[in-house]
């Protein structure tokens, strides 16, 4: 084989290899840019929600507060379903008060504090993200049909000795547990400072 032919084949392989590496690097740059944009959106959402939750709790009437918090979360992020639970008059019980994106015939049981994931979230006063959702657990419905959400967030709130729990579902990972836990941390640390 002539010497020039061998160099041409090697050169073609080297060029193809460099083009593949260039494509891989361009894709990685796009991924990193999307990740950076998502981080910016998350921090903007976090700052907005933290301020708005505090405002709702401080400025709304006690009877309206659970509804306003529920509406705030619904309007801030892309939810497909949600349940608002409020503390019952009976100790260690939370009852469903309002739903969003669920069929009317969907049966929602009261929560017993300390039992199941709902009850544990209330006891621990810490938000939780659930990504491994049982197939028959929760189905979101709308005019375009029904679907199983990908993520469920359990978001507890306590104010003036009253408790509420939001259970909200989404097709997207929203990071609501992190945002909510940051809010709860600030609330509980300020309560500790007042005592």
d(CA 56, CA 138): 28
* Token couple for 164: 């509420």
For residue range 100-122, what is the model confidence (pLDDT) as tens digits? 988 877 889 999 999 999 999 99
By the 8 A CB rule, do 100 and 82 touch? yes
For tokens 């002539």, the residue is 2
By the 8 A CB rule, do 41 and 35 touch? no
pLDDT for residue 1: 47
By the 8 A CB rule, do 137 and 161 touch? no
Chain centroid to CA 12: 49
d(CA 103, CA 14): 60
* Spans of the chain, pLDDT less than 70: 1-6, 38, 40-43, 188-195
Between vectors from CA 52 to CA 161 and to CA 49, what angle results, nearest 5°?
105
Strand, helix or coil for residue 113? coil
pLDDT for residue 121: 94
Q: Specify which residues 147 forms β-bridges with.
A: 140
Q: Is the dihedral of CA 115, 195, 58, 72 positive or negative?
A: negative
Total Cβ atoms within 10 A of residue 19: 10
d(CA 155, CA 125): 9
* Token couple for 34: 């999307």
Q: Max alpha carbon distance in the chain (Å)? A: 93
What's the predicted TM-score (pTM) here?
0.73
């Amino acid at each position: 084989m002539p010497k020039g032919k061998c160099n041409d084949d090697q050169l073609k392989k080297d060029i193809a290899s460099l083009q593949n590496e260039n494509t891989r690097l361009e894709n990685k740059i796009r991924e990193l840019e999307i990740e950076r944009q998502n981080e910016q959106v998350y921090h903007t959402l976090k700052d907005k929600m933290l301020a708005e939750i505090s405002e709702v709790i401080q400025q709304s009437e006690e009877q309206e507060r659970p509804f306003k918090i529920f509406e705030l979360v619904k309007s801030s992020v892309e939810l497909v379903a949600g349940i608002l639970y409020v503390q019952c008059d009976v100790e260690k019980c939370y009852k469903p008060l309002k739903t969003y994106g669920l069929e009317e015939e969907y049966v929602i049981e009261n929560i017993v504090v300390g039992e199941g994931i709902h009850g544990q979230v209330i006891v621990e006063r810490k938000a939780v993200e659930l990504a491994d959702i049982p197939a028959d657990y929760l189905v979101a419905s709308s005019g375009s049909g029904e679907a199983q959400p990908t993520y469920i967030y359990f978001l507890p709130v306590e104010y003036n000795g009253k408790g509420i729990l939001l259970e909200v579902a989404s097709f997207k990972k929203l990071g609501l547990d992190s945002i909510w836990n940051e809010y709860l941390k600030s609330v509980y640390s300020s309560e500790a400072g007042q005592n």
